[in-house]
Chain A
Amino acid sequence: VLALGTVGASRRVSLQRGLLFLCALVLLLLSEAVEPLGASGSPGGAGDSSGGSHGLQKGCEADVTKSKHPTNRTKKPFPVLSFDYEHVKTPFEISLWVLLASLMKLGFHLIPRLSSIVPESCLLIVVGLLVGGLIKVVGETPPVLDSQVFFLFLLPPIILDAGYFLPIRPFSENLGTILMFAVVGTLWNSFFMGGLLYGVCQIKGTDLNTVNLLACLLFGSIISAVDPVAVLAVFEEIHINELLHILVFGESLLNDAVTVVLYHLFEEYAGVGSVSILDVFLGVVCFLVVALGGVLVGAFYGILAAFTSRFTSHTRVIEPLFVFVYSYMAYLSAEVFHLSGIMALIACGAVMRPYVEANISHKSHTTIKYFLKMWSSVSETLIFIFLGVSTVAGNHSWNWTFVTVTIILCLVSRVLGVVGLTYVINKFRIVKLTTKDQFIVAYGGLRGAIAFSLGYLLDKSHFPMRDMFLTAIITVIFFTVFVQGMTIRPLVDLLAVKKKQETKRSINEEIHTQFLDHLLTGIEDICGHYGHHHWKDKLNRFNKKYVKKCLIAGERSKEPQLIAFYHKMEMKQAIELVESGGGVKLPSAVPSTVSMQNIQPKKPPSDRAIPQISKGREEEIRKILRNNLQKTRQRLRSYNRHTLVADPYEDGWNDLLFKRQKLMEIEKKVMCVSVSLTHVPNWWLHSSDPQAYSSKPTSDDLPTIKVDLASPQSPDSVNLVNEFQKAATQNDPDDDGGLVMKVPFADKDQGEQDNKKEQQRLMRCLSDPGPGGDEEEDEPFLP
């Protein structure tokens, strides 16, 4: 029965998939039939739109002339329905492509087993090939991935997503290794490949004599850069450990500077035909300028964004916009000066993140996260589809020798480069890179769309062999993405490479990591050795003293990292608590029956003066106890804190949690008194006064409770009777927009119902669970 059920389900699924595909194709064909697509994206589009506007102008002129000579016009019936595709052509086509990409992505995940065998990038390229083939069959020329569109619109979202969520700690710890791989590795690859290709080209028998040395070197530099898009696409799915991931990924990001410099250098001088020593020296200087300049531009815009976010407390809605626009401006500004746009984007995202996250609201944070993921996902899909389409579209000039030699050389040079560099790097690393690590790093060097776009940008007049280059580039991309991309997952399993640890960062690990940091800094100081920890500590102190004060609004600037982490965790738990139906059963990581009472040392029952309580009151107290004890016991039996410490800087939260805290304290006190009345050992925790966190105590009716029942020194004259009356008459209509939480009555019958109502309301309002990949959030902002 089960088997039949699954068969039926899979048939249904494939049916759905087929339908989706069909719809997409129909849509596409419709657009093709209506209007032939231009030869390339935006220049063609621009031409068309200008054509459209001209058409409009002509129409206006025609109208004017018509109005001047009304008698010439023949009277036609008023057009009820007219067809005017021209003026929406470009946005229409763009939307259609985006829709196609998204539908494809949707379709893949409906087929359960496909996505586990074949990486998404491969599937998308295949789809691109099919679509390109279809377009050709229909008779139109399929569009080629235009480099302008690629570099200005498709690439930035992916890079910004990577840079904003870059895990700073492993990145900075391995920075030396990453730089070595990125700079020295890419240089080695380019020259090795370029040189050997030139040698091969000189062999008589292949008709490649026209390819001169500089052209070969240029080709080498284009093809040798590891591509961040491809690496992200493949590595995202295999979940290897953090170290390897950051090594390959960091290398793919940082080699952009090298690629830019080499590309421009060789392109400039390939036409001339020779490169002098001075040019080489200038090239090195250029590299430093490009890399550091890009980082500085990015950091500058990042600081601007952080500073702007300090003042956005009244206009929360446009907060995400600042993040996006400042980052994009950083990218464009870097591109103006031919600096490395990728490094600018990474620097901008990484610099602004700690400060912006401290300033913006929780919702804005979620918005930014979702938007970045969405844009980068769509971009990636479009890039791969267009790669497929461009393959079908482009003019190819296939040369067996060239292509096969290129592929072989790619592999060989990568392996040699990684092995050689690791040998040198391991002398300076504490955690050495094993052979397995080296293999993964070498195997994970995928090439992608950046190489293709750079090749496409080449000027045909200077480089007559451009088509051959493009063919070779596409072949290499296909080879790396298909062969290496598909086989890396079984290889990772075969070699038993360490996978990413799924455990969430706990408060204990945070405490101990901080302790360890300080300890190591101290030991370094005692040794007099200005090492890694010493400088990190100095940077942190500088950051705390000066930078945070400028860039973070209000009280938050003084919040130490441990507390910020703790608040974040509590917020998350509060949301989880509400969503799980409130208190009954918390989805804790480790189901355990340990609660706060087990931790607190037993205190001797204090014999303090208990105010006289009338019999009636006592009965009331007992009834409430009976009602609420059950609820609170269940609430306690979880990993949650018994009091929710509110994030004091979050609008709205403040009030509710403050009130909720008050309520819980009232309950506690009631129970404590009753407990001592009935001679049950006092197992309740004393609570500290949370007033430090309430910036606007709106209701002064709620008594300030400073309870310390454990310590006999504070002779609290707790007037329970009065508080009870106040609590009973309390009827707070909370009017916080969004998060509504009614203070449950400390009353016998209403207590239960109100609790349920309140939790339902909270559930409805806090319905956004946040995206699944939450691991990045657990990273502390600053290392």
Chain B
Amino acid sequence: MGTSLSAPDQDDDFEDLAARTGFSLEQIGNLHKRFKHLTNNQSTLRRENFDSVTDLMWNPIRSEIIEAFFDTRNFQPGGTGSVREITFEEFLIVMSHFRPPELNMTSEQRESLRTKKLRFLFNMYDKDNDGKITLQEYRHVVEELLSRSGTIGKDTAKDIADAAMLEVASITVVHMEPDEFYEGITFEHFVKILKDIEIESKMYVRFLNMDTTTLCK
């Protein structure tokens, strides 16, 4: 292996992590290097550390992505709220949401992977953690997606979000009385409207070839 680990007990930690998150030892080594690079050799990652990733500036949903790392729901079962800093282990758990499915997975394993990824996405939309994506939160997402288009985006964002919400309601709760109120997209509804997109194969990042030279930016 090209990457050499300094301390022997780090190996044990990594193996433990590998068992838990499913990454290979090499991948964990690479991610550890990246973690150290981002945090300037500290042991915890903070929000400010993401400022050094210059390409992220162009990303319209930058704040959501950064928040996702500090959202306890993503690395602690049953966690709520967000923290100020995370350890390498939590960083790794968040990253494990982006692993591709393996060829020899059973269909239950695929289903659980799919649910896990969808849950991650859902948490990104549902910021106040009330279990539903309200119209306000949805509008906010669409506005951010269109945030780079200047004034053209502002008015249509609302319309688009409204139309999308209407579609979700039409598909999931087919019949509603005129005075009933559709409060928001619950996780079940979310899964239902995205059932045509193969999330488990689309939502992945190649951790295969992580050249160390590209890591040092």
Q: Which of A541, A560, A688 contacts B153 (CB 8 A)?
A: A560
| Chain B residue nearest to A600 in the complex (CB) | B135
Asked if B46 is at the interface of the complex by the 8 Å CB criterion, the answer is no
Q: Is residue B7 contacting chain A, with contact meaning CB distance below 8 A? A: no
Q: Would you give the 0/1 interface string for B179-200, flagging 1 where the beta carbon is closer than 8 Å to chain A?
A: 1111000000000011011000
Quick check: A511 and B142 within 8 Å, CB to CB?
yes
The answer to whether B181 and A602 touch across the interface, beta carbons within 8 angstroms, is yes
- Asked if B162 is at the interface of the complex by the 8 Å CB criterion, the answer is yes
- Whether the Cβ atoms of A558 and B169 lie closer than 8 Å is no
> Is the CB–CB distance between B156 and A515 below 8 Å?
no
Q: Flag whether B113 is at the interface (Cβ < 8 A).
A: no
Contact of A430 among B37, B56, B100 (CB under 8 A): B100
Cβ-defined partner of B152 (8 Å) among A426, A513, A525, A558 = A558
A537 touches B (CB below 8 Å): yes
Flag if A563 contacts B197 (CB, 8 Å): no
Taking CB atoms, residues of chain B closer than 8 Å to A692 are 151-152, 155
Query: What distance in Å separates the Cβ of A274 from its nearest Cβ neighbour in chain B?
Result: 43
If A509-B196, A602-B181 touch, does A594 touch B55 (CB 8 Å cutoff)?
no
CB distance from A173 to the nearest CB of B (A): 10
Q: Which listed residue (B59, B135, B167, B179) contacts A508, Cβ 8 A?
A: B167
Q: Are the CB atoms of B163 and A641 closer together than 8 Å? A: yes
Complex contacts, B60 vs chain A, CB 8 Å: 518
B205 and A563 contact, CB distance less than 8 A: no
Complex CA distance for A560 and B174, rounded to whole angstroms = 31
Q: Please tell me if the beta carbons of A508 and B201 are within 8 angstroms of each other in the complex.
A: no
Cα A11 to Cα B190 with chains together (Å): 52
Q: Does any Cβ of A come within 8 Å of B28's Cβ? A: no
Q: Are B152 and A521 in contact, CB atoms less than 8 angstroms apart? A: no
Residues in A498-533 with C-beta less than 8 Å from chain B: 501, 503, 506-509, 511-516, 518-533
Residues of B within 8 A of A512 (CB): 121, 194, 197
A742 to chain B, nearest CB (A): 26
Contacts of A681 in B (CB 8 A): 179
CB neighbours of A643 from chain B (8 A): 159
Q: Any chain A CB within 8 A of the CB of B17?
A: no
CB within 8 Å of B: which of A662-688? 681, 683, 685, 688
Residues in chain B near residue A600, CB distance under 8 A: 135
Is B65 positioned at the interface, with any CB of A under 8 Å from its CB? yes
Known contacts A507-B167, A599-B169, A639-B167; A525 and B55 CB within 8 A of each other: yes
Mark the stretch among B18-26, B76-84, B207-215 that contacts chain A: B207-215
Q: Which residues of chain B are near A591, meaning CB under 8 Å?
A: 174
Q: Are A526 and B56 in contact (CB under 8 A)?
A: yes
Q: Which residues in window 15-47 of A have CB below 8 A to B? A: none
Complex-state Cα separation, A595 to B95, whole angstroms: 39
Known: A515-B145, A566-B159, A594-B175. A599 touches B165 (CB 8 A): yes
Contact in complex: B175, A593 (CB < 8 Å): yes
Flag whether A597 is at the interface (Cβ < 8 A): yes
In contact, B205 and A531 (Cβ under 8 angstroms): yes
Contact of B150 among A524, A558, A593, A601 (CB under 8 A): A558
Per-residue A-contact encoding for B112-124, CB less than 8 Å = 1, 0 else: 0000000001001
Interface hub of B134, B152, B203, B216 (most chain A Cβ within 10 A)? B152
Q: Which residue of A lies closest to B185 (CB)?
A: A508
B5, CB-defined interface residue at 8 Å: no
Residues of B within 8 A of A (CB): 31, 34, 37-38, 50, 53, 55-56, 58-62, 64-65, 95, 98, 100-101, 103, 121, 124, 134-135, 141-142, 145-146, 148-153, 155-156, 158-160, 162-171, 173-182, 193-194, 196-197, 201-207, 210, 214-217
Complex A-B, nearest 8 residue pairs according to Cβ-Cβ distance, in ascending order: A592-B170, A525-B55, A522-B65, A528-B215, A594-B169, A592-B174, A560-B149, A430-B100
Instruction: Offer 5 A-B interface pairs, CB within 8 angstroms, sorted by A.
Output: A508-B167, A529-B214, A534-B55, A563-B160, A594-B175
